[in-house]
Chains A and B, each alone.
Chain A
Amino acid sequence: MRDLRFYGLTVLGLVLFPFAIHPIGGYGGLATQILIVGIASIGFNLLLGYAGLLSYGQAMFYGVGGYMALLTVSRFFPDHPNFWLAIVLAVAFVTLMALVIGTLVVRLYGIYFALLTLAFAQMFFFIVFKWRDLTQGDDGLQGIASPPLGLGPWSIDLTTPFPALDLGPFGNLSDLHYWYVFVAIVTLAVLAFMRALVRSQFGETLAAIRENEERSRLIGFDPKLYKLAAFVIAGALTGLAGALRGLYETSIAPDSLTVETSGNFVIFTVIGGVKTLFGPLLGTGLVMYLQNVVSAKTDAWRLIEGIVFVAVIVFLPGGVLGTFGRKRARTDLARAVRAKPETTP
């Protein structure tokens, strides 16, 4: 029954989402963007919320994923641009990246872990920035049309809008493109995967390691390998998001790899709620809404974002969803998020 409820509500939410945000100033493109970035935030949440690792370098996977996807289309296989190939190559490359970097990074804890991920991200940023031959440096890659999505005999141009249909305050149906449907399906898959993972044996063990690493070691688990696996999965998800972003925007620039971008994932997830399934999406939606809609009204939007972020950390450590979600979830979260490393009541 719970499965039905999850899928039912999620599908419903995804279907209604682009229309629901219209009355408050949102639009179809924004909805697509929110979902894409949301996927990366979900990946980040696996690291922070479930594995207890604060990574300040996720942007490297995001940006490299985007560059790889666009380069696959424009440079590696220019004669046969293939949508799936771009995505697969990007994700595969990023996964490998995460495996190598992860092996080095999971040896460290706390601030050292955060700083090392930051260091690697900066390295990649500067490599992308300086390698003009490949990446066009500061200008980035632009105007690379996304190849059509191939599904068996069909070839779907994702930029196709839906037929025009006036929905009153909820905008016009033609505001929505096929891209949204594709991204929504991917988001659903990612959510379903995360849900399964959290309840799985792997998720259970990860939670135990997070709660008491020493004990976990001394009952026979190897915490490093679990953290590495979490790092790789998170990296892959972030890379997938990056690839989607690149193909959707038809362009990418080095700012996808900056500290700011890494910081954004942190902000989105913390505001929405760490250690919750939908929190990262909610946080991403809230803040990107702020960025896109409120920014038109006032220049102070980023300041508001910062203040909300601090307020959440101080007063609502479980994030928005964590505080207003189900009661049991709330107490678990508050305890888990406030817990000191050595928890012995």
Chain B
Amino acid sequence: MLDGFVRGLVYVAIALGLTIVFGMLRLVNFAHGAFYAIGAYVGLVVAERLGIVAGLIAAPLFVALFAVAFDRLLLRRFYDKEPTSQILVTFGVAIVVQESLRLIFGGTTRTFPIPQALMAPVNLGFTEYPAYRLAFAAGIAAIVVLVWLFIQRTNYGLIVRAGIRDRTMVQLLGGNVAMASTIVFALGAGLAGLVGAAASPIYSVDPDTGFSFLVPSFVVVVIGGLGSFWGAVLGGLIVGELQSLTTLVLPAASDVVIYVAMALVLLFRPSGLLGESEVIRG
């Protein structure tokens, strides 16, 4: 159960970035998994030399910078194009990233070096659970709240939310939509990168990690609702739990079940559980 919860949180964090970018930029980003993977590797490399904390700081920063470069150089041209070309170009970049990682780091699986203290299980009364995973869960929850606050309470968040409704109007009113867009895109990417680094002690890292987390993230986002903040949260938790529960009941179906769920949602309620919103709202 708890494992499902933790896995669900990973999905939530990745899906958040994905859904925010879609809701805000109307952009379908197949490269989102790549952000996760880059974060994982950067975190790994930095942590090996400078310790965990440095790793957890460096990863999101690096990924955010990468995202900004990606956006400025390449993605801009595709903002108003039809989703097909957006999917294609982000898919292409995801492959380039995956293969670059493979060339740089080799194809073998790597694990994050964590201090022994954090590996020890914590007694929760009804069960024991590794300390790191608990810290991880708490961390993700805190981040979700922070992102929510950012979007709801800050000026940039406001510009973003208004910009979705009417880009031109916001620009006329003096709001810097381009800047806000870039910031939110970088935010989504950084989030994925942070989770990539933070989750790598739990799920080992290899170059294919990007895609292996991307596809379930889309499942999450679809179920929760493309563009909905709390939809991503709800969706992530549901998918995580669904997977772990099915493993207990009917192990053979545990992988299939999330895709069946996604198909059902797409067929009967394509806007997702919490609906597709124009603005990121709860």
Contact = CB atoms under 8 A, between A and B. Distances in A.
Interface string B88-119: 11011101101110110000000000000000
Given A126-B255, A126-B259, A340-B80, A303 B266 contact: no
Contacts of A54: 84, 87-88
B83 interface: yes
B194 interface: no
A94 B47 CA distance: 50
Q: How big is the B interface, by class?
A: 35 or more
A111 B87 contact: yes
Given A270-B88, A310-B93, A116 B263 contact: yes
A307 B222 CA distance: 29
A155 B255 CA distance: 44
B77 interface: yes
B85 A313 contact: yes
Given A118-B215, A317-B85, A107 B80 contact: no
Contacts, number: 112
Contacts of A119: 219, 259-260, 262-263, 266
A17 interface: no
A302 B74 contact: no
Contacts of A127: 256
A118 B266 contact: no
B28 interface: yes
A337 B252 CA distance: 42
Interface in A304-323: 305-307, 309-310, 313-314, 317
Contacts of B266: 108, 112, 115-116, 119
Interface string B234-272: 000000000000000000110110011011001100100
Contacts of A108: 266, 270
Given A115-B218, A118-B218, A314-B77, A300 B103 contact: yes
A299 B91 CA distance: 20
Nearest to A342: B82
A135 to B, nearest CB: 13
Given A54-B84, A339-B82, A111 B215 contact: no
A48, A302, A305: residue with the most chain B Cβ atoms closer than 10 Å: A302
B88, B103, B255: residue with the most chain A Cβ atoms closer than 10 Å: B88
Contacts of B267: 104, 107, 116
Contacts of A198: none
A303 B88 CA distance: 16
Nearest to B212: A259
B91 A266 contact: yes
Given A54-B87, A303-B100, A303-B103, A126 B256 contact: yes
Interface in A99-137: 104, 107-108, 110-112, 114-116, 118-120, 122-123, 126-127, 129-130
B81 interface: yes
Q: Which 4 A-B pairs have the closest CB atoms?
A: A306-B95, A310-B92, A303-B99, A306-B96
13 contacts: A111-B28, A111-B87, A114-B87, A115-B262, A119-B219, A259-B211, A270-B88, A299-B102, A305-B99, A306-B96, A310-B74, A313-B88, A340-B81
Given A54-B84, A307-B96, A313-B92, 4 more contacts: A104-B267, A111-B87, A310-B89, A317-B85
